[in-house]
């Protein structure tokens, strides 16, 4: 009986550790969230608000008043038009100027920039103002150059569709421009570049006309060139 009891003992279940793919996805998600959080904190107006919040939490400390003054001053200065223009002008100066010639490019890549979720007037998700500005200029160039179009943009948090899907529908329905490729898995501009290259290179395309805001063009161009594509910049929405 004791032998039967010994054989009937069940060891507690030990869950299997996550495989390499799951661990990699978790690491990438954590890094993505941390990068977005850090970027949000460093950019206006969150940088000034963050300083004010820290000052409020430690208001009994001697340095709290100085920190609050710094945060308030930062918010005020960043709200002034000439300060905003001064901050954005160096980026726009590196954007490459207004598009003139395709210089051997064979496709147009338009980058998404977020969605408005559940827009009541449209009955579904629609594009943000930045995405629409990029899309309109991309459609203008597509009609002028007669190039195929790739739209890049993944699924934002809590959205039901990808930026690429929503923008492609608008391009075709409202601008009359067909979209040949949609890159709909990316999370940021680095993903846009890498995944767009994976789509275009097998099609024999290595030089593209890249459409995005002028202030965003220097970073976007660097990432696309890092992914192995030659970039002809087509910046839009100059602010400076």
| Per-residue pLDDT at 85 | 74
Cβ atoms < 10 Å from Cβ of 119: 12
Q: What is the pLDDT of residue 5?
A: 45
204: left (phi over 0), alpha (psi -120 to 50) or beta: left
149-152, strands of its sheet edge to edge: 181-183, 149-152, 107-111, 207-213, 230-236
The pLDDT of residue 69 is: 92
Q: How far is the C-alpha of 82 from the C-alpha of 53, rounded, in Å?
A: 26
Which letter does DSSP use for residue 11 in this model?
Answer: P
Residues (pLDDT < 50) of the chain are: 2, 4-11, 25
Please state, in angstroms and rounded to a whole number, the distance separating the CA atoms of residues 46 and 48. 6
Distance, in Å, from the CA atom of 108 to the CA atom of 21, rounded to the nearest integer, reads 33
- How far apart, in Å, are the Cα atoms of 196 and each of 67, 69, 134, 199, 205? 44, 45, 17, 5, 10
State residue 6's pLDDT score: 45
Tokens of 85: 């223009």
In this prediction, residue 84 carries a pLDDT of 73
Q: Is the peptide bond before 107 cis (omega within 30 degrees of 0)?
A: no
pLDDT value, residue 19: 58
Average predicted confidence (pLDDT) for the chain: 86
Residue 163 CA to residue 120 CA, distance in Å, equals 18
- By C-alpha distance, which of 200, 197, 209, 205 is closest to 233? 209
**3-state DSSP call for residue 115?**
strand
- Asked if 88 and 129 touch (Cβ cutoff 8 Å), the reply is no
pLDDT at 158: 85
Reduced to 3 states (helix: H, G, I; strand: E, B; else coil), residue 176 is: coil
Helix (H, G, I), strand (E, B) or coil at 37: helix
Q: Give Cα separations from 61 to 58, 66, 67 (angstroms).
A: 6, 10, 10
């Amino acid at each position: 009986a004791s032998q039967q009891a010994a054989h009937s003992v069940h060891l507690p279940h030990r869950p299997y550790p996550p495989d390499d793919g799951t661990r990699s996805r978790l690491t990438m998600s954590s890094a993505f969230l941390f990068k977005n959080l850090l970027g949000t904190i460093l950019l206006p107006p969150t940088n000034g608000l963050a300083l004010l919040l820290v000052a409020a939490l430690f208001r009994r400390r001697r340095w709290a008043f100085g920190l609050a003054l710094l945060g308030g001053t930062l918010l005020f200065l960043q709200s002034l038009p000439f300060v905003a223009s001064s901050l954005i002008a160096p980026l726009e100066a590196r954007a490459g100027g207004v598009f003139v010639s395709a210089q051997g490019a064979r496709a147009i890549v338009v980058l998404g920039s977020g969605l408005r979720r559940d827009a009541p007037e449209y009955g579904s998700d629609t594009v943000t103002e930045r995405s629409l500005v990029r899309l309109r200029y991309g459609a203008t160039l597509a009609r002028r150059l007669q190039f195929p179009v790739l739209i890049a943009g993944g699924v934002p948090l809590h959205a039901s569709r990808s930026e690429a899907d929503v923008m492609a529908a608008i391009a075709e329905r409202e601008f009359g421009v067909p979209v040949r490729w949609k890159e709909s898995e990316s999370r940021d501009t680095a993903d846009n570049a890498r995944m767009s290259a994976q789509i275009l290179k097998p099609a024999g395309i290595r030089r593209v006309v890249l459409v995005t805001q002028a202030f965003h063009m220097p970073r976007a161009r660097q990432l696309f060139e890092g992914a192995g594509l030659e970039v002809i910049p087509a910046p839009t929405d100059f602010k400076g």
